[in-house]
């Protein structure tokens, strides 16, 4: 696994993350446990992605008295999973921001060229007013990630972040070079891609393992 220093790449290299990654990398880990841990890691990634969130002062009443507190405006956020594997991260993020809107981008990989092919795009009507957090467990070649980002930018979105469980150096390089304004939050940067564009050592096909279709 690699260390990567960049202003717009945050690698959450801590003992709990490493422990969780070890479990989901194991080919013998079952679908239920795999799915749950993907959600847990997504929750941790989201906590860090929201460190710069704007807080608004509001007045509430505790059981004792009225007081002023600071809160995030959940309506300012949208989560956009890249189908289908990205949907496995949604539940983990909705635990933090349950009122965020959700868009979907459908991309699949051409097995010969490894390039992403678009088949679905559906966003909230006011997506351009929101901070968008894109979700994909695996950042491999970076093709799907950069295509998804461009679609959102074409839709008028100004602030975008990208969350992945495991990333490849090739994907990190492509995304940061093409979109230096998009911050990446990942649990680990692995060694490389193999000749089939799978991450090494990785964890296999995240979508198949999340949905039990492998």
CATH number where 200 lies: 3.40.50.2020
22-28-34 Cα angle (round to 5): 60
Checking if the pLDDT of 214 tops 90, the result is: no
Kindly state whether residue 168 falls inside one of the protein's structural domains: yes
> Using CA atoms, how far apart are residues 54 and 41, in angstroms rounded to an integer?
23
If you average pLDDT over every residue of the chain, what do you get?
92
Checking if the pLDDT of 7 tops 90, the result is: no
Tokens linked to 106: 């459908």
Tokens linked to 154: 């074409």
Q: Which residues pair with 81 in a beta bridge?
A: 135
Kindly state whether residue 4 falls inside one of the protein's structural domains: no
Residues of the chain above pLDDT 90, percent: 82
Kindly state whether residue 60 falls inside one of the protein's structural domains: no
Which one from 25, 31, 109, 147 is the annotated catalytic residue?
109
Kindly state whether residue 61 falls inside one of the protein's structural domains: no
> Using CA atoms, how far apart are residues 158 and 178, in angstroms rounded to an integer?
15
Number of Cβ within 10 Å of residue 39's Cβ equals: 18
Q: How confident is the model at residue 116 (pLDDT cuts 50, 70, 90)?
A: confident
Is 205 a known active-site residue?
yes
Q: What share of the chain is helix, strand, coil (3-state, %, to 5)?
A: 35, 30, 35
pLDDT of 84: 86
Number of Cβ within 10 Å of residue 174's Cβ equals: 18
| Mean pLDDT, range 96-119, rounded to an integer | 85
**Segment 38-83, tens digit of pLDDT:** 999 999 999 999 999 999 999 999 999 999 999 999 999 999 999 8
Which one from 25, 29, 84, 205 is the annotated catalytic residue?
205
Single pTM value for the model:
0.90
Checking if the pLDDT of 5 tops 90, the result is: no
Q: Which domain holds residue 31?
A: 9-55+67-211
Tokens linked to 152: 């959102």
**Segment 167-192, tens digit of pLDDT:** 999 999 999 999 999 999 999 999 99
pLDDT of 26: 96
Kindly state whether residue 1 falls inside one of the protein's structural domains: no
Which one from 113, 126, 181, 213 is the annotated catalytic residue?
113
Q: How confident is the model at residue 135 (pLDDT cuts 50, 70, 90)?
A: very high
Kindly state whether residue 15 falls inside one of the protein's structural domains: yes
The total number of structural domains in the chain stands at 1
Counting every residue written for the chain, the total comes to 214
Is 7 a known active-site residue?
no
Is 208 a known active-site residue?
yes
> Using CA atoms, how far apart are residues 145 and 140, in angstroms rounded to an integer?
9
Kindly state whether residue 38 falls inside one of the protein's structural domains: yes
Query: For the stretch 89-127, what's the b/e string if a residue is b when 16 or more beta carbons lie within 10 angstroms of its beta carbon?
Result: bbebbbebbeebbbbbbbbeeeeeeeebeeeeeebeeeb
Kindly state whether residue 198 falls inside one of the protein's structural domains: yes
pLDDT of 112: 77
Per the omega criterion (within 30 degrees of 0), is the bond before 201 cis?
Answer: yes
């Amino acid at each position: 696994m690699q260390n990567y220093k960049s202003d717009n790449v945050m690698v959450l290299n801590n003992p709990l993350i490493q422990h969780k990654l070890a479990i989901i990398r194991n080919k013998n880990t079952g679908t239920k446990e795999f799915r749950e841990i993907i959600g847990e890691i997504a929750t941790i990634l989201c906590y860090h992605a929201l460190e710069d969130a704007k807080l608004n002062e509001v007045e509430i009443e505790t059981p004792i008295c009225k007081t002023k507190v600071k809160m995030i405006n959940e309506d300012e956020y949208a989560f956009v999973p890249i189908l289908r594997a990205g949907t496995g991260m949604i539940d983990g993020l909705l635990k933090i921001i349950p009122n965020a809107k959700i868009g979907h981008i459908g991309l699949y990989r051409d097995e010969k060229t490894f390039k992403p092919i678009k088949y679905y795009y559906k966003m909230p009507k006011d997506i351009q007013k929101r901070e968008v957090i894109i979700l994909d467990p695996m950042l491999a070649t970076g093709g799907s990630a950069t295509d998804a980002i461009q679609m959102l930018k074409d839709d008028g979105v100004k602030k975008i972040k990208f969350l992945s469980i495991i990333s490849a150096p090739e994907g990190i390089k492509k995304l940061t070079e093409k979109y230096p304004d998009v911050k990446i939050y990942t649990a680990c940067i692995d060694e490389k891609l193999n000749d089939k564009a799978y991450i090494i050592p990785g964890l296999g096909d995240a979508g198949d393992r999340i949905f039990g279709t492998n």
